[in-house]
Chain A
Amino acid sequence: NAGVTQTPKFQVLKTGQSMTLQCAQDMNHEYMSWYRQDPGMGLRLIHYSVGAGITDQGEVPNGYNVSRSTTEDFPLRLLSAAPSQTSVYFCASRKPQGGADTQYFGPGTRLTVL
């Protein structure tokens, strides 16, 4: 299994541009999430999905859209990039097992918005 994969690994955008960060998992996990991590800080939840066709907002959803058309893929869209969105983005997936489940994280996408 490849686990959780993310593309691209690095991206530089200009303010106002839009783009999609890709995330895929091959473990048939129902739950998927997007987090962002700013320098020296912990991860903050952007959006999450509990299954195909079902998404919801996390702590910091403004400026981001998500959709979940398949179990495997969970893309994150930046509608109009802003310098405040410069961060490292991590996608994660898990199989729900109450409080005992394990989250698997992708390698991250480093985004810089100029």
Chain B
Amino acid sequence: DAKTTQPNSMESNEEEPVHLPCNHSTISGTDYIHWYRQLPSQGPEYVIHGLTSNVNNRMASLAIAEDRKSSTLILHRATLRDAAVYYCILRGLSAGGTSYGKLTFGQGTILTVHP
């Protein structure tokens, strides 16, 4: 699986935008970029995903670099509830073997939101 690199931690103030970066220089042409987050004492939850174009949903926006070697998750107005570990994950099309669809979770970025 192609690897991703994220900062260990980031901090933000409430109601300010947050830009969470992710580097994935070995991404293949068919890899989707997924973001999940894990709130304290909860299971991971899906945030957003994209392939080539920028994506928006009710939770966040995903900005993908033109060469696809990096991406940025954007939380437009951070709230205290957004404090979590954010994981950037690459998902390929392979459906067999160990890459069947498992999500390879790295360390992620711990986001702290200050009131």
Q: Which residues of A contact B (CB under 8 A)?
A: 4, 31, 33, 41-43, 45, 48, 50, 56, 58-59, 90, 92, 94, 96, 98-108
Contact = CB atoms under 8 A, between A and B. Distances in A.
Interface centre among A48, A90, A102 (most CB of B within 10 A): A102
A43 to B, nearest CB: 4
Given A90-B43, A104-B46, A105-B43, A43 B95 contact: no
B102 to A, nearest CB: 4
B17 to A, nearest CB: 24
Interface in B69-97: 87, 91-93, 95
Contacts of B43: 4, 90, 92, 105-108
B107 A103 contact: no
Nearest to A31: B101
Q: Which 10 A-B pairs have the closest CB atoms?
A: A42-B105, A105-B43, A99-B32, A99-B91, A43-B105, A45-B102, A102-B46, A98-B93, A90-B43, A105-B44
A51 B22 CA distance: 33
Contacts of B104: 42
B103 interface: yes
B45 A105 contact: yes
A90 B101 contact: no
A80 to B, nearest CB: 25
A22 to B, nearest CB: 15
Interface residues of B, number: 27
A107 B39 CA distance: 11
Given A42-B87, A43-B44, A105-B43, A99 B93 contact: yes
Given A43-B105, A59-B98, A94-B101, A99 B31 contact: yes
A91 to B, nearest CB: 8
A100 B100 contact: no
A47 to B, nearest CB: 10
10 contacts: A33-B102, A43-B44, A43-B103, A45-B98, A50-B95, A59-B98, A99-B51, A100-B32, A102-B49, A103-B46
Interface centre among B43, B45, B46 (most CB of A within 10 A): B43
Contacts of A42: 87, 104-108
